[in-house]
């Protein structure tokens, strides 16, 4: 059994908890969350404020880091230094390589494994894009998200000063271009125009067509559903007009939690270091005997 700890208990943390509970080869070591009210809500589970409290109860194999992406470069090293494998859903695409390089050094030093950006995008979608490029090396891939809630963007908005609550919805406009519809509740004493400007200038939004809309109650419009359409048109060898299309409609947190759990399983089969999902053999993510998996899937 793989003993896993869930770090953080927002939407993704809850989904990761459910994924661990459903997996036949995993055991929940506990949940690390400083919110004291959570202890009352999660009856029967061990909820602590620090990982050291869980380590007293037994060896922890994996930490599922269900924390905001911007916190991953700071949080992951703390767990890797303890020799605990880490998995996260870091989604700031331009800096993935730099974070990977930093975590790789730390993971190897402490004989641990880190799986970086193991959500659905980046994550499972990254695998799809890699396979499509292998099938048509010449060409162009377009990833169109939505319409749906972007968890990473929503968390980023909530961190902006003056925002009480928020929802960021991604609207695809085609060819990999997106519109961000950002709905916010405003804290007392803040100017809406100034807050909206800060949101649009945030790294998550500055390159997109972003619209900020004031709402009285975000709970009335919340919907965590999402989706993606990945299309590649290119050439296989010297033959042109190869067209591939991948579609899915999903519950964002649930899929992220599941990919994180599968990545924690794969981490147990890797040498020390930091990996993204495209660097790991697909069979390593799956539960079961390798021969049976190959017979049924190949």
Per-residue pLDDT of the chain (298 residues; tens, 9 = 90+): 999 999 999 999 999 999 999 999 999 999 998 876 676 667 778 999 999 999 999 999 999 999 999 999 999 999 999 999 999 999 999 999 999 999 999 999 999 999 999 999 999 999 999 999 999 999 999 999 999 999 999 999 999 999 999 999 999 999 999 999 999 999 999 999 999 999 999 999 999 999 999 999 999 999 999 999 999 999 999 999 999 999 999 999 999 999 999 999 999 999 999 999 999 999 999 999 999 999 999 9
Q: State how far the Cα of 285 lies from the Cα of 278, in Å rounded to an integer.
A: 11
CB 30 within 8 A of CB 41: no
Q: What is the pLDDT of residue 248?
A: 97
| Residue 96: predicted pLDDT | 98
Nearest 10 degrees: Cα torsion 93, 104, 65, 117: 30
Alpha helices (runs of H) in 140-225, residue ranges in sequence order: 151-158, 192-200
pLDDT for the residue 41: 67
**Helix H or strand E encompassing 169:** strand 163-174
Q: CATH homologous superfamily of domain 2-123+252-297?
A: NAD(P)-binding Rossmann-like Domain (3.40.50.720)
Question: The tokens of 236 are what?
Answer: 């296989």
DSSP 122-163: TBHHHHHHHHHHHH-SEEEEEEEE-SEE-HHHHHHHHTSTTE
CA geometry: angle at 85 spanning 255 and 285, to 5°? 45
Instruction: Tell me what percent of the chain is helix, strand and coil, each rounded to the nearest 5.
Output: 40, 35, 30
Instruction: Assess if CATH 3.30.360.10 describes domain 138-236.
Output: yes
Return the pLDDT at 130: 98
pLDDT at 40: 62
How far apart are the C-alpha atoms of 231 and 185, rounded to whole Å? 36
Residues of the chain with CATH 3.40.50.720: 2-123+252-297
In this structure, what token pair is assigned to residue 1? 């059994």
Question: DSSP of 23-34, one letter per residue?
Answer: -TTEEEEEEE--
| d(C-alpha 78, C-alpha 263), whole Å | 19
Query: Start-end ranges of CATH 3.30.360.10 in the chain?
Result: 138-236
pTM for this predicted structure: 0.93
Give the single-character DSSP code of 104: H
What integer pLDDT is reported at residue 279 of this predicted model?
Answer: 98
């Amino acid at each position: 059994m793989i003993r896993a700890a869930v770090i953080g208990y927002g939407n993704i943390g809850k989904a990761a908890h459910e994924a661990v509970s459903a997996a036949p080869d995993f055991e929940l070591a506990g949940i690390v969350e400083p919110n004291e009210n959570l202890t009352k809500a999660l009856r029967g589970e061990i909820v602590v404020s620090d990982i050291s409290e869980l380590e007293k109860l037994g060896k922890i194999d994996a930490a599922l880091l269900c924390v905001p992406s911007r916190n991953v470069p700071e949080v992951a090293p703390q767990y890797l230094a303890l020799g605990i494998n880490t998995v996260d859903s870091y989604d700031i695409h331009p800096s993935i390589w730099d974070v990977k390089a930093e975590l790789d050094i730390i993971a190897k030093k402490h004989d641990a494994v880190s799986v970086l950006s193991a959500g659905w995008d980046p994550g499972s979608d990254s695998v799809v894009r890699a396979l499509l490029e292998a099938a048509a090396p010449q060409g162009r891939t377009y990833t169109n998200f939505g319409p749906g809630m972007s968890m990473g963007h929503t968390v980023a908005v909530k961190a902006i000063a003056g925002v009480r609550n928020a929802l960021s919805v991604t609207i695809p406009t085609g060819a990999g271009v997106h519109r961000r519809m950002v709905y916010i509740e405003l804290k007392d004493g803040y100017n809406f125009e100034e807050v909206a400007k800060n949101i649009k200038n945030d790294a998550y939004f500055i390159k997109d067509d972003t619209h900020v809309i004031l709402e009285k109650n975000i709970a009335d419009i919340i919907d965590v559903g999402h989706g993606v359409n990945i299309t590649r048109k290119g050439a296989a060898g010297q033959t042109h007009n190869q067209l591939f299309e991948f579609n899915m409609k999903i519950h964002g947190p649930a899929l992220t939690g599941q990919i994180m759990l599968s990545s924690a399983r794969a981490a147990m089969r890797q040498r020390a270091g930091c990996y993204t999902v495209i660097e790991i053999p697909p069979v390593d993510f799956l539960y079961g005997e390798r021969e049976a998996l190959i017979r049924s899937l190949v």
